[in-house]
Amino acid sequence: MIREHKVSLWLGSFESVAEFNTFINIAYDEDGNQIPSKFQETYEIKKYDMNAIETDWIDEGVDNVEELLEGFSADEEIIPAFKEMLKDRDIKMYNSIILLYRYEYDGEKTHESNMDFIGVVDGY
């Protein structure tokens, strides 16, 4: 749900940027109605600020959250918070990042996907 000062993070692995874009892109029907992305369907995300999402796909997988999040908005705030959250967990090699700002996701995943919900931190 939309919440000020919250940032939700998903990390994943996709074979190509095209495959990742297919997962995250929103389409529209001939009447201009929004068709939810596969990302939205997988995590049952009905509404979010379309200006508050950042994504990236990189060629080679990385298992370091600092490297994955460097350069994103509010990275000076969110990197330490996610590092603290993940300090006792091993993370896999990831090459795809979704950050949803001003959104607190509840962690319910309804379909299989290449993405893992990592968590929510305060920030931005």
Residue whose entry in the numeric block shows the structure tokens 């330490």: 80
Domain count, the chain: 1
Taking the model in full, what pTM does it have?
0.91
DSSP for 37-96, please give it. -HHHHHHT-----TTSEEEEEEEEEE--HHHHHTTSTTHHHHHHHHHHHHTTS----EEE
Tens digit of each residue's pLDDT (9 = 90 or more) over 44-66 = 998 888 889 999 999 999 999 99
Average pLDDT over residues 74-100: 94
* pLDDT the model gives residue 110: 66
* pLDDT the model gives residue 47: 82
Q: Is the pLDDT of residue 74 over 90?
A: yes
CB 82 within 8 A of CB 119: yes
The whole-angstrom separation of Cα 121 and Cα 124 is: 10
Look up the domain containing 97 and give its range. Answer: 2-27+34-122
* pLDDT the model gives residue 46: 85
